[in-house]
Structure 1
Amino acid sequence: MGIHIIAEFRGVDPRKLSRVEDLRPVLDSVVAKSGLHVVSSSFHQFEPHGVSAIYLLSESHLSVHTWPEYGYMALDIFTCGDDGPALRAFELLVEEFKPKSVEKRIIRRDIFG
């Protein structure tokens, strides 16, 4: 059915995580380059800093939550069908945010167990 990537990025430059106007273009580019298809997206700016973002995809969803004061980003990518776009999106996010450490879990979603 699909792949669910749950990841944590640590040691990210806080300037990349603080404001919607900095984060949105990066995420938009990653989603487009990975071949995912956006149905809609929503962003919330926390004060004084931090962002929650979610992309509703025709394949499922991608969400990001940031804590710039800790250089931390929580990431969730779930897609149905081919694993390629989700894996590519993850690789692109690592390239863009350059975390010092990454924790990643992959869950295979399958209605047949």
Structure 2
Amino acid sequence: MTTNTYSPGLHKLVTLEVQKTEKLFYSEGFISFSEDLISKYNLEKVGISQHDFDNNSFTIAICLKESHICIHTWPEFKQLTLDVYLCNYLQDNTEKVKAITNAYINYFEAIILKDFEINR
């Protein structure tokens, strides 16, 4: 009996605390930064779904050919949740997922409150 050792990808889920909350209100800045990351890491965007709430917080799902990047902001709590998942049957994107997540942590100048890694 053989077992399949293939893992489709790494799924990172983080909750971050942000002291400078301006970026938690600025969905267009997040999208612009994400577009740069998508280009830098040679990912393929399928589409973006975005909603800005009355308090200017936002939720965004970026659908990628390789899977997705999602964010939800809570400026009133100085927090956000971020979900980065890249899967690919031809290559291991583990390091890309970690690098992209770290780029967002740096973008928000955030402190990590929760950090989960799921090997799918």
Alignment TM-score, normalising by the size of structure 1? 0.86
CA RMSD of aligned residues (A): 1.5
1:28 aligned residue (30, 35, 40): 35
Give 1:91's aligned residue: 102
Unmatched 5+ residue regions in structure 2?
Answer: 1-7
Q: Deviations over 1:31-61 (max 9, x none)?
A: 3323322111121100122000011111111
Residue 55 (1) aligns with residue 89 (2): no
Counterparts of 2:100 and 2:56 in 1: how far apart (Å)? 24
SS in 1 for 2:98: helix
Kindly report which structure 2 residues correspond to 1:1-113, keeping only aligned pairs within 5 A, or say none. 1-81=8-88, 82=92, 83-109=94-120
Unmatched 5+ residue regions in structure 1?
Answer: none
Counterparts of 1:70 and 1:25 in 2: how far apart (Å)? 24
Question: Any conservation in 2 of the 1:35–1:85 contact (CA below 8 Å)?
Answer: no
Aligned length: 109
Alignment TM-score, normalising by the size of structure 2? 0.81
Q: Which moved more, 1:96-105 or 1:57-66?
A: 96-105
Amino acid corresponding to residue 21 of structure 2 in structure 1: P
Q: Percent identity?
A: 25
Question: Any conservation in 2 of the 1:39–1:58 contact (CA below 8 Å)?
Answer: yes
